[in-house]
Structure 1
């Protein structure tokens, strides 16, 4: 029996990067997956990739800043698959790199709306759906920036620290209802955004790489494997945890 056989759920921001890898990993393990993204073309491409490996997936366009759209996403997942066993809340943005004294307030607001409010809306309606089928597992995408500070990223750091906090709180609130809530904390992961960063700021990129205990950047598939584990019954006694998937980066930095 495959690890997620008989289970159904959703992944947000699944049109690329960590979200796409997560959706693929869950589908490979036997889950039915509702793929969600603001980019319909990218989301449908993820569905196609899942179907090519023999998996079951559907697409639903959703902007997590809009609570009504989040409600519709959860409802459509339950309608399509009959239940909600898991959810990977992966949507988040980092819109600016600047000192807080020079930060753009509109960019701050949008970062908080997508990364924090989007996670809040999602969890709010996911737990209520999961209560109807006797439990489930929610995995939020936090960040290494949700564990420690990061220069020039105040809004992102604030939003990801908050995601860690509400992950713990919701785990406490619903643990006895058999709903587990955990988070992954990705370090620098090879995605299109990181590839652009390597091209535009090679000195900064290489400095981070040299400080990583593993000696290499993590990949989206590494994050997806952690999500799969936390969604599965293998982690049934793991609740309220934020799991760094970062090659040891938040454990401490190697001397340069």
Structure 2
């Protein structure tokens, strides 16, 4: 998307304290260039998430395919933004939790096959060093969200998710099977958040699991209390 911004406000988060507005990439980066004291989540520099007082613009760009997460503590206004590779997004679930979750979903989705993929410990051990650092950073973010829940109460925490399908190779979904192809991608992060006490009504999920290419870019503007969202 590179033309004029649509200006569309996403209706899904009408009850949220932060609005999400769809814009073009040109508009998003134009606004980021204007923003004063802008900070950026830069995974190239191993900055996977950062925490602000809610008064600082945050640029979180180039998710392709990845997970972008914004966390708001309504209690004190704190904003966290994180960026994690979708490739490791399913590793955060313990095997027992993942198996239980998928079996439950399997009962609800008929004719989707019987195979359930569970990642082995060896597969986790074989993650690249950078992935291990990212995974540890993801767990640290979950710990921080847990602290928010304890301090402010679960109902005072809001989560905003952006991203897309992380399957890079055509063969990968076939190897895993139709059941897990979208279930893991859509539910894994939400399951983690629910374990912390954040319930779905406070989780606003804008991930597009149908796209295999392109990027998601986001910009939080505190003066408007809005997240600009562009795809390309």
Which TM bucket (shorter chain)?
A: 0.3 to 0.5
- Structure (1/2) with the larger strand percentage: 2
- TM-score normalised to structure 1 length: 0.34
- Structure (1/2) with the larger helix percentage: 1
Greater RCO (Cα-Cα under 8 Å, separation 6 or more): 2
- TM-score normalised to structure 2 length: 0.37
